Structure 1
Amino acid sequence: MTDVAIERGDRPQTALPGYPTLSEAARVWARIAALSFGGPAGQIAVMHRILVEEKRWLGDGRFLHALNFCMLLPGPEAQQLATYIGWLMHGVRGALVAGLLFIAPGVLAIMALSWVYAAFGDVGIVSGLFLGLKAAVLAIVVQAVVRVGGRALKNPAMQAIAAASFVAIFAFGVPFPAIVLAAALVGWAGARAGHAAFRAGGGHGAVGKTHVEDSATLLGEETTFGGRAAMSGAFRAGVGALVLWLLPVGALMLLAPGSVFADIATFFSKLAVLTFGGAYAVLAWVAQEAVGTYGWLAPGEMLDGLGMAETTPGPLIMVLQFVGFMGAFREAGWAAPLVAGTLGGLLATWVTFAPCFAWIFLGAPWMEKLRKNAALASALSAVTAAVVGVILNLAIWFAVHVVWQEVVRVEAGPLSMELPVPGAVDWAAAALTGLALLAVFRLKLGMATVLGGAALLGVALHLAGLA
């Protein structure tokens, strides 16, 4: 590919590469999908490296504006970011290609692993393997808190938002949507009032500064979108996505009320509307409902599912497919439970991702008209700070259920929290978690190495009779 000069002024710039066809873009999206390990931070970094630095299809400004919008939406921000950029480049068809390719490897991988888990999950070696994965996932979640916090909490105002969000969700059980809304309002009001802490509208430096200028890219800063034809096409596609999402949900509620499939359709549809901040931010709610309300999973099994999602390409929210699979596998009452589980997992995936396309098609054209809105940028920065507090809550929730075998709920007025029983430490899990934290923070080992090594250690502890 021809190099693109980034200097401004009178210096000559080399020619931009030709605009990619949809088939050429599809090959790039397939490559991104195959490399999309490591949760949203890793996936966004891969997209930035390939689309911004390597291909020069868009610059930092356009990329981060799209990311800011996707961070505010319910659902997986990395998949929605791919869909948004696909729309920018090739309209509705480009959005479908990018968004569907992004999730395809994860759908296939999680389904295969769900079959293995349902058939062999109680076998000792498999249990030992997932014990190691749980410990590694806990270390990765702690790393996510540190990384996101380091980028988002640049001043005392953002730090206060993160602390308040953590206390609200950990100690008082405030719903995450309420936390997001409050943070967005604080950021918007701070920007409108001219406070210095909100003036920059930063906090989304998820991918770092690369000095790739928008004027030296195919989709430069001055490239305009949202014309009447584009708006109309995106609106029709958004309505179509809403219909494809809600039609099977309504049919199940009418034809099979009270069934596990109706419960899966309605519960995960509710998540699609009310969950913000990506997989890390919503898994505590998913676990609470799937474990406590519906009885589809045990607490440890939720971590097993997250371990699967961490070790396979695609969004971490693909863990919901595992939850839907296990719920239908156990609750459908069919003579062929694996078939029921497969349908339950695919249903959970459908109602999780169909709304994601709707949000992008209905919202992206309008967001293109708001790229210069400083108050909106500040609101998004405050939301990111709030997400840090929620991720910290998730890390503590994971630690409680991985390292301790028993927990107790403490309630006093509005206060409600789960605390570990001091004498119920699982020492094998604690040792594996300590090693995983050492590998992540001290040795700086890659995610695949940490997950694979922890899984092997879990198997070794089982074979030695220590786990």
Structure 2
Amino acid sequence: MSTVNDNVISTQQKVEEDVESTIVINNTPSSEDKETIVNIISNDQRSSEPAYDEFKDNSKVPNLSYLQIFILFLDFGIHAWGGPVAQIALFKERIVEKGQWITMSRFNRAFGVYQILPGPEATEFAMYFGQLAGGRFGGLLGGLGFILPGFVLILLFSYIYEVVGFENDYFNASFRALQPIVAAFVLRAVHKIAEHSFISSRTNKFNNWLFGMAILSSILTALNLNMLITMGVCGISFMFIDRKLYLIGILVLVLEFVGFGIFIGLNHGIPSPTSIGIGIARQDQLDSGHIFGLGLLTGSISFGGAYTTIPFLKAEAVNIGGWMTAATFLDAIAIGNILPSPLVMFSCFIGFQAGLRADGGGIGWAFLYAFLITVGVFTPCFLFTIIGHPLLEKLCRNKFMASFFEGIVGSVVGLIAPTAFDLLRSSLITTGAISIKDETQRNFIALQRGAIAAALYIMTDRWSILIY
């Protein structure tokens, strides 16, 4: 303590000596001038000291071994019920509020970055906190620990679904009853994603342009325009509109419609539903490379969360590939919702089905394809978080790039909405898949319609548990 005081006294004396010399030189021996100059020099010295930066302060992050990091986030993965909102809330409660690893401001900034970038936010947070505690390898272990329980469980359910499901009428009927609920989950997701997707980061207010882009992308998706084109055009357009270059932004949107009109004219009609995707995993291309590529592309376009992947994977597996029915696709989403895992993990089930349906495929190929598509889906978010988080944080603070990403996220709402209604329609259509007595079948149909009506009613409640 005495050393600190001595340093303070020494600094003050030096300041006063500098002032005295300044006064002598300028022949201004005013006491008021002396006091003013002392304050100026003291303020200059204080301003030259390094300021505290809460966004770089890791002093409260515990020093954990690699094993401890893995076990910590494995526990988070085991308790990852309720979708991304509940999972992120768990991180916030245990690591930020109780553990105080980082400040709330730093947590909110990271959350803002992960909302804009593709990938499941909860998994990205697991890697983010793991990296704080153990460097990049710690981030890798944190992410692996978090997704491992869900991967194992969905892999197990995929196997049970194949072995038991098709041979058991009541098992099939049970999943059939769940399908309207799943469709309601997806519809509810449209509402919840819209709550933050239409808020401009520059003004923190509702942005009519983002809402309009969601409407446009919904119309274009219903007309079967490729979703990647729609996302890119909306991103570029809003990049100009947000800078008040309205004419250029509107021109970009007009050119999209003009190009789409020319396409319709040349092809003598609206594109088929297969045009929404790109056909990376057709029936005759179900090899390991294409399945991994399907997962990689899925993970790269998952702006706004896992629900963005639903229309793309449905287009690839159901509409274009033809190796999965709409009912089975709904079952995949149902399994992803009822298990503790990132929702995007339902892609593991889809990979399993691809392995079964491939030429010469079987159970062994199913396990391999499930693993490959899962690795592909999570590779982008692992790379973004572990390798480039500081760069991406700067990128998202860049005005033009932030506007580009916001335009994409705004269009995502419009991409999901038509798919949600299509899934709802599919869930209410009775097929020959249920071969039990007519009376029992009618009861299940009544249960389905009652469940979907109840779920849609709950959707109107802002505080519904069906938040994602």
Q: Same fold (TM over 0.5)?
A: yes
Q: CA separation of 1:338/1:316 partners in 2, compared to 1, >3 Å: closer, same or farther? A: same
Q: Does 1:125 align with 2:170?
A: yes
Deviation at residue 56 of structure 1 after TM alignment = 2.3
Q: Aligned equivalents of 1:91 and 1:42: distance in 2?
A: 26
Deviation at residue 166 of structure 1 after TM alignment = 1.5
Deviation at residue 168 of structure 1 after TM alignment = 2.2
Q: Does 1:319 align with 2:346?
A: yes
Q: What is residue 169 of structure 1 aligned with on the other side?
A: 221
Q: CA separation of 1:370/1:429 partners in 2, compared to 1, >3 Å: closer, same or farther? A: same
Correspondence for 1:264 among 266, 291, 313:
291
1:187–1:375 Cα contact (<8 Å) kept: no
Q: Does 1:401 align with 2:435?
A: no
Query: For residue 288 of structure 1, what is the amino acid of its counterpart?
Result: A
Q: CA separation of 1:380/1:48 partners in 2, compared to 1, >3 Å: closer, same or farther? A: farther
User: Aligned ranges for residues 440-459 of structure 1 at < 5 Å?
Assistant: 441=460, 446=465
Deviation at residue 439 of structure 1 after TM alignment = 4.8
2:127–2:385 Cα contact (<8 Å) kept: yes
1:296–1:323 Cα contact (<8 Å) kept: no
Q: What is residue 185 of structure 2 aligned with on the other side?
A: 140
Q: Aligned equivalents of 1:165 and 1:97: distance in 2?
A: 38
Q: CA separation of 1:445/1:360 partners in 2, compared to 1, >3 Å: closer, same or farther? A: closer
Q: Does 1:434 align with 2:453?
A: yes
Q: Does 1:276 align with 2:303?
A: yes
Q: What is residue 109 of structure 2 aligned with on the other side?
A: 65
Q: CA separation of 1:42/1:185 partners in 2, compared to 1, >3 Å: closer, same or farther? A: farther
Q: Aligned equivalents of 1:115 and 1:17: distance in 2?
A: 46
Q: What is residue 185 of structure 1 aligned with on the other side?
A: 236
Q: Aligned equivalents of 1:174 and 1:341: distance in 2?
A: 31
Q: Does 1:346 align with 2:378?
A: no
Structure 1 unaligned blocks of 5 or more: 1-15, 196-252, 407-425, 451-467
Deviation at residue 156 of structure 1 after TM alignment = 1.9
Q: CA separation of 1:388/1:63 partners in 2, compared to 1, >3 Å: closer, same or farther? A: farther
2:303–2:408 Cα contact (<8 Å) kept: no
Q: What is residue 155 of structure 1 aligned with on the other side?
A: 207
CA deviation string 1:291-321 (max 9, x = no partner)? 2332321110000011000011121111111
Deviation at residue 275 of structure 1 after TM alignment = 4.5
Q: CA separation of 1:150/1:278 partners in 2, compared to 1, >3 Å: closer, same or farther? A: closer
CA deviation string 1:428-464 (max 9, x = no partner)? 533321133345545966459x9xxxxxxxxxxxxxx
Q: Aligned equivalents of 2:392 and 2:220: distance in 1?
A: 30
Q: Aligned equivalents of 2:86 and 2:401: distance in 1?
A: 25
Deviation at residue 395 of structure 1 after TM alignment = 1.6
Q: What is residue 81 of structure 1 aligned with on the other side?
A: 125
Q: What is residue 14 of structure 2 aligned with on the other side?
A: none
Query: For residue 269 of structure 1, what is the amino acid of its counterpart?
Result: L
User: Aligned to 2:425, what secondary structure does the other structure show?
Assistant: helix
1:71–1:380 Cα contact (<8 Å) kept: no
1:177–1:275 Cα contact (<8 Å) kept: no
Q: Which has the higher contact order (CA 8 A, sep 6+)?
A: 1
1:22–1:90 Cα contact (<8 Å) kept: yes
CA deviation string 1:327-353 (max 9, x = no partner)? 11232535xx32222122112212222
Q: What is residue 6 of structure 2 aligned with on the other side?
A: none
Deviation at residue 401 of structure 1 after TM alignment = 1.3
1:281–1:394 Cα contact (<8 Å) kept: no
Q: CA separation of 1:67/1:443 partners in 2, compared to 1, >3 Å: closer, same or farther? A: closer
Query: For residue 164 of structure 1, what is the amino acid of its counterpart?
Result: L
Q: Does 1:363 align with 2:388?
A: yes
2:183–2:423 Cα contact (<8 Å) kept: yes
1:110–1:321 Cα contact (<8 Å) kept: yes
Q: Aligned equivalents of 1:404 and 1:322: distance in 2?
A: 23
Q: Aligned equivalents of 1:388 and 1:436: distance in 2?
A: 20
Q: What is residue 412 of structure 2 aligned with on the other side?
A: 387
**Between structures 1 and 2, the one with greater helix share:** 2
**TM-score, scaled relative to structure 1:** 0.67
2:295–2:375 Cα contact (<8 Å) kept: no
Q: Figure out how many residues of one structure are paired with residues of the other and give that number.
A: 355
Query: For residue 416 of structure 2, what is the amino acid of its counterpart?
Result: I
Deviation at residue 118 of structure 1 after TM alignment = 0.2
Structure 2 unaligned blocks of 5 or more: 1-57, 199-205, 247-280, 432-444
Q: Aligned equivalents of 1:389 and 1:42: distance in 2?
A: 24
CA deviation string 1:385-431 (max 9, x = no partner)? 2222223223212112112359xxxxxxxxxxxxxxxxxxx655333
1:69–1:380 Cα contact (<8 Å) kept: no
Q: What is residue 206 of structure 1 aligned with on the other side?
A: none
Deviating more after overlay: 373-382 vs 32-41: 373-382
Higher Cα radius of gyration: 2
CA deviation string 1:347-396 (max 9, x = no partner)? 22122223332233443131244575444444443333222222322321
Query: For residue 321 of structure 2, what is the amino acid of its counterpart?
Result: Y
User: Aligned to 1:22, what secondary structure does the other structure show?
Assistant: coil
Correspondence for 1:329 among 356, 368, 376:
356
Q: CA separation of 1:138/1:258 partners in 2, compared to 1, >3 Å: closer, same or farther? A: closer
**TM-score, scaled relative to structure 2:** 0.67
Deviating more after overlay: 18-27 vs 137-146: 18-27
Deviating more after overlay: 98-107 vs 24-33: 24-33
Percent identity of paired positions between Structure 1 and Structure 2: 26
Deviation at residue 324 of structure 1 after TM alignment = 1.0
Q: Aligned equivalents of 1:174 and 1:82: distance in 2?
A: 35
1:161–1:386 Cα contact (<8 Å) kept: yes
Q: Aligned equivalents of 2:230 and 2:111: distance in 1?
A: 20
Q: What is residue 55 of structure 2 aligned with on the other side?
A: none
Deviation at residue 110 of structure 1 after TM alignment = 0.3
Deviation at residue 140 of structure 1 after TM alignment = 1.6
1:34–1:313 Cα contact (<8 Å) kept: yes
User: Aligned to 1:56, what secondary structure does the other structure show?
Assistant: coil
Q: CA separation of 1:443/1:129 partners in 2, compared to 1, >3 Å: closer, same or farther? A: farther
1:72–1:277 Cα contact (<8 Å) kept: yes
